[in-house]
């Protein structure tokens, strides 16, 4: 069982920098993340959680004009991994075992969304995360667009 190193706090600026570095590397190495997340901004990060913002573009929108479910699912995938990376500053965030997304409302091209990822537990083999995607209204996280859970196999070799 992994420990949430509360006894050895890490500077939040260092965690944020770590997440920014991993995101930059992923954008280069992952065509889907590059396509969907090239403009993502990490707003904050602390041990076990991260928050980012993203302005929705045509790349994120379905034929009806709202955020595409596949885009939301990819965001849940990415943010779950980033939350795991905040746990202990690991660079490899594992592979997906299970992902669930619940779609609650929508957003359109030009809207800004806030993405919050939380690692509930990172053990020796599995990491369990929750992600909330909200529409930003008047500079604050507003209505929840989608929420998800993401389990990853995180055993390091």
Distance (Å, whole) CA 40 – CA 114? 10
DSSP 3-state assignment of 39?
A: coil
Q: What pLDDT score was predicted for residue 137?
A: 96
Q: Which backbone phi and psi does 53 adopt, to 5 degrees?
A: -130, 150
Angle between helices 12-29 and 69-88 (to 10 degrees): 130
DSSP 3-state assignment of 2?
A: coil
- Going by C-alpha positions, the residue among 122, 107, 133, 128 that lies closest to residue 155 is 122
Polymer length of the chain = 157
Under the banding of pLDDT at 50, 70 and 90, the label for residue 2 is very low
Q: What pLDDT score was predicted for residue 3?
A: 45
Q: What is the pLDDT of residues 115-131, one digit of tens each?
A: 999 999 999 999 999 99
Q: What pLDDT score was predicted for residue 101?
A: 98
Q: What is the pLDDT of residues 27-76, one digit of tens each?
A: 999 999 999 999 999 999 999 999 999 999 999 999 999 999 999 999 99
Mean pLDDT of the residues in the chain: 93
Task: Say yes or no to pLDDT of 98 above 90.
Answer: yes
Distance (Å, whole) CA 86 – CA 10? 10
Q: From start to end of the chain, where are the E strands? A: 41-46, 49-55, 95-103, 112-122, 126-137, 140-153
The tokens for 102 are 């619940």
Task: Say yes or no to pLDDT of 157 above 90.
Answer: no
Work out the angle at residue 116's Cα, subtended by the Cα atoms of residues 100 and 119, and round it to the nearest 5 degrees.
70
Task: Say yes or no to pLDDT of 1 above 50.
Answer: no
The separation between the first and the last C-alpha atoms of the chain, rounded to the nearest angstrom, is 16
Task: Say yes or no to pLDDT of 4 above 50.
Answer: no
């Amino acid at each position: 069982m992994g420990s949430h190193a509360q006894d050895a706090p890490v500077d939040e600026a260092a965690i944020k920098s770590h997440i920014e570095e991993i995101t930059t590397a992923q954008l280069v190495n992952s065509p889907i993340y590059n396509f969907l997340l090239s403009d993502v901004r990490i707003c904050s990060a602390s041990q076990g959680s991260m928050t980012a913002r993203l302005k929705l573009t045509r790349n994120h929108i379905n034929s009806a004009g709202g955020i595409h479910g596949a885009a939301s699912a990819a965001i849940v995938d990415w943010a779950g991994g980033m939350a795991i990376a905040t746990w202990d500053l690991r660079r490899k965030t594992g592979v997906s075992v299970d992902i669930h997304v619940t779609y609650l409302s929508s957003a359109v091209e030009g809207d800004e969304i806030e993405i919050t990822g939380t690692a509930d537990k990172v053990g020796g083999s599995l990491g369990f995360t929750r992600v909330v995607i909200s529409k930003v209204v008047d500079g604050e996280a507003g209505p929840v667009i989608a929420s998800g859970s993401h389990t990853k196999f995180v055993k390091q070799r």
